[in-house]
Structure 1
């Protein structure tokens, strides 16, 4: 019995040594090959693990938080072309976002989730790591709450805000992340409250104001700003 136990222990030791020798290896060209496991420098806890094929990531890579339980922080599932589907998790293991990466830059549609409810919060279209297209934000019931056009990572173009019932509360225009152009604001019943123009995030020109769906008054916002500036100079 003792000899059998000794033999098993020896076998386990040999297996452990063999496994250790098969980790973090490189090929003849010095490229990573086979299973690799990385650790945090100070804590020596697991940082990542995944398999390389002559320097190229393949299959699923896992990334861990630097804590006692080595909580899973993210996964990357690699395709043959080198792109990957990346998923991020919170400290409780709940999915918070997912999408495609090409050369470590976000590409295509990314989805973001409420970790508590696991419901979709927003979607963002990416091109070369920057938002390009219409970003959408959702209510808990799945209805669209906001739509904003982006170009090269900044708000550029039409913006809309909705109620949960689909009524448009705001229609405005953005240029370089600032309100610039026509804008219309409505109440929860869909009635126009005000409309006019913005320039560089500031109301300008003639604005129309409505009460119960009917035009109540007009104000020249440009002159209003000039008059205010004159008052400030006098004071």
Structure 2
């Protein structure tokens, strides 16, 4: 009987020791050593190692259902973390770096097959540089540049056959300069000029054969000869305006946890 008690005590000792070594702080209240936290349902929320209140080495975070959510590889000072993000089906969705808890350098986003379908560049948590989106076949779908978090420079979107769908210029977050949209055969569908996000001057609309269909003249973003357009032309104009607004408001960041939803949305012209 005594031997059994001793054996049970010996087996329990490592478990007690491990439990006592978790979630420790020093005299200054700084986290030290291995930390592990749970959700209310008992599933692990995260597990990682801390030194002087900063995470170091590998940290794992989990979804509430217990599936891996993120793997973060921290530098010795805890400032930089190479990060891989996963959805609740344990599929890789994004990879990139955090520096001081902010996105930095290149972030890649993946579809369900593990293929890179979008890429963004960050500096101190703000978009800086070029962003790209690709079709499943590897052809580029969109490219756009950012300056201090605002769209700035060339913006191009493509059809899956590689032909240019639209081309425009941004300046400090607003459309400025020429704007052209094309048919899949490369013929211009419509085009004109933006000034501070507003259409100005004459905008020309063409058929797929390149024939001029009609012209709309704008002042401060408002069509001044719209009453001269027939019903069919007005309907086409409204559709184009709605499509333009939709394109301008799309942002990969809104879909960072579900790149496939983002990419499906991108394909709807």
TM-score interval w.r.t. the shorter chain?
A: 0.7 to 0.9
Aligned position for 1:66: 64
Asked if the contact 1:159/1:172 (under 8 Å) is kept, the reply is yes
Separation in 2, partners of 1:166, 1:98: 27
The answer as to whether partners of 1:192 and 1:213 remain within 8 angstroms in 2 is no
Find runs of 4+ consecutive structure 1 residues off by over 6 angstroms: none
Separation in structure 1 between the aligned mates of residue 3 and residue 211 of structure 2, nearest angstrom: 95
The yes-or-no answer on 1:95 pairing with 2:92 is yes
- Partner residue of 1:187? 183
What is the aligned partner in structure 2 of residue 33 from structure 1?
Answer: 32
Quote how far apart the aligned CAs of 1:217 are. 6.1
Q: CA deviation at 1:119?
A: 1.6
Match of 1:111 in 2: 108
User: SS state of the match for residue 60, structure 1?
Assistant: strand
Aligned equivalents of 2:208 and 2:67: distance in 1?
A: 55
What TM-score, normalized by structure 2, do the two folds share?
0.75
> As a proportion of its length, which structure holds more helix?
2
Q: Which has the higher strand share?
A: 1
In 2, Cα distance between equivalents of 1:44 and 1:191 = 60
Deviates more, 1:149-158 or 1:84-93: 149-158
Q: Which residue of 2 aligns with 1:148?
A: 144
Structure with bigger RCO (C-alpha 8 Å, 6+ apart): 2
From the superposition, tell whether residues 100 and 194 of structure 1 become closer, same or farther in structure 2 (CA, over 3 Å). same
Runs (5+) with no aligned partner, structure 2: 228-269
Q: Which residue matches 2:22?
A: 23
Offset at residue 60 of structure 1 (A): 0.6
SS of residue paired to 1:221: strand
The equivalent residue for 2:80 is 83
Q: Determine helix, strand or coil for the equivalent of 1:140.
A: coil
Q: Say what the alpha-carbon RMSD is for the aligned residues.
A: 2.6
Kindly report which structure 2 residues correspond to 1:177-216, keeping only aligned pairs within 5 A, or say none.
Answer: 177-211=173-207, 214=210, 216=212
Q: State the Cα distance separating 1:153 from its structure 2 match.
A: 2.2
Q: What secondary structure does 2:12 align onto?
A: helix
Counterpart for residue 232 of structure 1: none
Rg: which structure is higher? 1
Name the CA distance, whole Å, in 1 between partners of 2:139 and 2:2: 69
Q: How does 1:123-162 map to 2 (within 5 A)?
A: 123-162=119-158
Aligned residues: 226
SS in 2 for 1:180: strand
TM-score scaled to structure 1, two decimals?
0.84
